[in-house]
Amino acid sequence: MKILITGNMGYVGSVLVPYLRKEYPKSFIAGLDIGFFQEKLIDNSYPEKSLDKQIIKDIRDVESEDLEGVDVIINLAAVSNDPMGKEFESATEEINFIAGVRLANLAKEVGVKRFIFASSCSVYGEGLGNSKTEKDQVNPLTEYAKSKINTEKELEKISSSNFAIKCLRFATACGFSPRIRLDIVLNDFVVNGLLSNEINILSDGSPWRPLIHVEDMARAIHWSIEDKNKEDFQILNVGNLNANYQVKEIAEAVHKVLPTINIKINKNASPDKRSYKVDFSFFNNLASGYQPKFSLEDSIKDLVKKIKLFNLNEEHITNSEFIRLKTLKDLIDKNLINSKLQKL
């Protein structure tokens, strides 16, 4: 089997690559990534060393030759959160949506059999009421979320019995990765708690967020490769059945592990409309052997343990190379890329 992972040098890809190498020691595994975060490692692991091939290329420039002989594509390449989507709206549409759909069409043309798309529960947006199932109406509020749902709609049109597509609507990622991110809620709270002894909640703490550990995301992708279901096209909410939390509850969970920290809630903040609870029972029923293993407490304790191994300080909070938007702005300031996130 030949597997291609796009965006393999990101937060999720850096965990997925060694995971899949362990699961498929004899398979040919390749990565394709533009390399913006290649050197943004908290350690010296360089997970891509375990790949059979690393392609340094913009997903917008993928050609049929890059996909020859590939059986499975895992598309992780994306402008990967709401702040970046707001800052780079045009690039978000080009990379997340247009290039992603073009990649899938090329894949189908050259005979790829399975396409796994990393979507997001953020498509539910202002998800009032009960926990959202895959059949509920979506309400994307940001360019990032819109790019995900637009891609899903186009992928459904091209799926077939010879080109099976799974769209994994992941909960909000958390946990340790060699290319860690400090711009996602749990990681931000843990690192701030460790380094500044304080957590600042930038909202009133009421918005709901489902969480999933990055290693559990890799486990779900593994299931997507192995699944023998005959469905041409599937959308699945992927997360822990019991992992819907209000933001203030996440902060309180961190406080239980780090009891000396202070929690500050901005009660005067404008309401954050991005709030949704998600029902993960469909994935739970289909993928019984691949369910998330990390509880919220497990995720916090594991992150605390691993972050303490590295010589971080408060500078990593305020001026961090592990905040994706800052990295991209730095590359623009150095005239290495343009505002469309293309290399110069």
- What is the distance between the alpha carbons of residues 111 and 69, in angstroms, rounded to a whole number? 8
DSSP sequence for 106-144: HHHHHT--EEEEEEEGGGG-EEEEEEEPTTSPP---SHH
pLDDT of 86 > 90? The answer is no
Q: Does position 139 have pLDDT exceeding 80, yes or no? A: yes
Cα separations (Å) of 16 from 56, 60, 270, 322?
Answer: 18, 22, 36, 18
| Predicted pLDDT of residue 319 | 66
Q: What does the pLDDT read at residue 318?
A: 63
Q: How many CB atoms lie within 10 A of CB 163?
A: 20
The whole-number average pLDDT for the span 22-32 is 98
Which among 7, 5, 12 is positioned nearest to 178, based on CA atoms? 12
Whether the Cβ atoms of residue 165 and residue 159 lie closer than 8 Å to each other: yes
Q: Is this prediction's pTM over 0.85?
A: yes
Q: Report the C-alpha gap between 34 and 232 in whole angstroms.
A: 30
Confidence of residue 179 (pLDDT cuts 50, 70, 90): very high
Specify the residue for token string 């009891």: 259
**pLDDT value at position 112?**
98
Instruction: Write the CATH number of the domain with boundaries 2-333.
Output: 3.40.50.720
Q: Please write the tens of the pLDDT for every residue from 253-287.
A: 999 999 999 999 887 777 778 899 999 999 999 99
Q: What are phi and psi of 252, to 5 degrees?
A: -65, -35
- Residue tagged 């709270």 (tokens): 189
| pLDDT at res. 325 | 92
In the chain, where are the structural domains located? 2-333
The torsion of the CA quartet 85, 91, 94, 95, rounded to 10 degrees, works out to -70
Residues 210-259 have pLDDT tens digits of 999 999 999 999 999 999 888 999 999 999 988 999 999 999 999 999 99
Spatial distance between the Cα atoms of 248 and 231, rounded to a whole number of angstroms: 39
**The pLDDT of residue 210:** 96
DSSP 9: T
Separation between Cα atoms, residue 289 and residue 136, nearest integer Å:
26
What is the reported pLDDT for 310? 86
For residue 317, what pLDDT is reported? 66
